Amino acid sequence: MKKVIVVDARKNILSDIQTRMILDDERNIDIVSTLSTTENVYSAISQHKPHIVAVCENLVETQENWDYKNIQVVGYAFTPGGNDVILGMGLPSYGVISEIPVLLDRIEKNNPRKPAPSPTQKSKPIAQKPETVPETDTPPEPKPKPTSAPPSKPAAHGRNIKKQLALYNDTERARKATDDLVDSDVLGPPKKTSVVTLYSAKGGVGKTTLSTEIAVYLAMTAHRRGHYRVCIVDYNIDFGDVQTTLDLSPSGSTMTLWAAEIKERLEAGEHPDDIHFTRKEIENNLQVMDKTGLYALLAPLTHEDSMDIGEVELQVMLRNIVRHGGFDFVVCDTGNNTRDSSVTALEFAEYVLLIVTQDITAANCNDAVLATLNKIHFDTGKIRLVVNNVLPAKITGVAVQEIEDLFPHDCIARIRHDTDVIRANNYSRPIVYQPNHEVTKEIRKIIAFLTGSDEEGLTVKKRGFFSRFRK
């Protein structure tokens, strides 16, 4: 099996490559490392000893020398101009790539287009009678012009400013034209995004746990030839726990800087409805969970930062994620409050999963909130009930059916209390990684409801996927 390192400045592309390799695990290649800069290329090569290094046009010029002993370095491009640059540097190229499966196919077949030999490499022709030159589609290579003494300071990477500017313009045009094109199987045409908000007026009922489990399960669920593209939004902005639960980076992106940028644009006079972000710009404000490809908009790390984020900024962020993020599902975690963040998540929701337990105080809190929602004419028809931490009635003194009877909404799952869930949270290993666990089976009912699928027909990526996460 060929070991491959992929070098590409677009982190979202690298994440989708990793996810695609999970989907296409029968390929005869192994992506041993993905790098978004060239700083660690040598160390990665030393560590993994790959057969191929595939480098994108956006990083190919950061090194003048790609000569690594016994390692084949091949470029790939997303613009024709970038492909010319790769070949001009003397590297073979997989060509212009618009879809990740195409890139993986070409790496697997490994039959790149080789650069034309430079004039200095051509042998001196033997004098002979002129021959008729056959017509071809390729124009003859121009003869090199004689050069004067070498300049004291070389042009950037051997190209003059005009070529550099032409490449920039070419790249910018392609970027604007294909800003949302990564993988047609994954992104596809513009799609309707389903927003699912988990809510409870009482804390400690398991909203964050269920939000992350549902989001992870959705992200791992097969959809046609690809997988659902999912983002979890932590709108419990005061004390969000999604980052810890999913073991995402505490030094990575959160909503703090994004909200600050939106606030600056508002203060400059832009109307909230006119503030738009491209898919790439949205993804730059998100973190991505390894293995599953789940995106996450994380709450601020400090309560002080959360106090600086207002309702308008929250609405602009969520509206852009829903309308321009290209997601199939957006799962919103909320706080046990009626702060702007929770209200915004409720307003955007297609479905609200009301989380209740066999706790009368929790039931009373939720009943009070529902009464308020009815008074303001909130569409309570989109509410569904999920009973969490189910215990025998002889322990709680209240039966599950009694709790359900208090609310005029369909119950779509009853999730029993299980200490395995606590352990899974502590290790940041979602319980849905265990497909046969009883809790996973109940969450599967929620997924079937949200996707409109037959519960028995749900497919999680590829057979054997869960075994990657078992101890």
What domains does the chain contain, in order, with CATH numbers?
2-109 (3.40.50.2300), 194-468 (3.40.50.300)
Model-level pTM?
0.60
Q: Going by DSSP bridges, is the β-strand pair 2-7/93-96 parallel, antiparallel, or unpaired?
A: unpaired
| Residue appearing with tokens 């209390």 | 417
Q: What does 231-297 look like in DSSP terms, one character per residue?
A: EEEEE--SS--HHHHTT--TTS--HHHHHHHHHHHHHTT--GGG----HHHHHHTSEE-TTT--EEE
pLDDT of residue 248: 94
**Conformational region of residue 231, where left means phi above 0, alpha means psi within -120 to 50, and beta covers everything else:** beta
List the pLDDT tens digit at each of the 471 positions of the chain. 899 999 999 988 888 888 777 766 678 999 999 999 998 898 889 888 999 999 999 999 999 889 998 899 999 998 998 999 999 999 999 999 988 889 999 999 999 998 877 555 444 444 444 444 444 444 444 444 444 444 443 334 434 444 444 554 554 444 444 444 333 333 444 568 999 999 999 888 999 999 999 999 999 987 665 789 999 999 999 889 999 999 999 999 999 999 999 999 999 999 999 999 999 999 999 999 988 999 999 999 888 888 889 999 999 999 999 999 999 999 999 988 777 888 899 999 999 999 999 999 989 999 998 998 888 888 999 999 999 999 999 999 999 999 999 999 999 999 999 999 999 989 889 999 998 999 999 999 999 999 987 665 565 553 334 333 333
Give the pLDDT confidence of 350-359 residue by residue, as tens digits: 999 999 999 9
Compute the distance between CA of residue 276 and CA of residue 408 in angstroms, rounded to an integer.
39
pLDDT of residue 134: 43
Closest to 385 in 3D by CA, of 413, 359, 363: 413
Q: Is the dihedral of CA 163, 167, 172, 177 positive or negative?
A: positive
Give the pLDDT confidence of 394-418 residue by residue, as tens digits: 999 999 999 999 999 999 999 999 9
pLDDT of residue 339: 74
3-state secondary structure string, 302-325? CHHHHCCCCHHHHHHHHHHHHHHC
pLDDT of residue 191: 60
pLDDT of residue 442: 94
Closest to 113 in 3D by CA, of 85, 92, 129: 92
| Residue appearing with tokens 């669920």 | 221
pLDDT of residue 465: 40
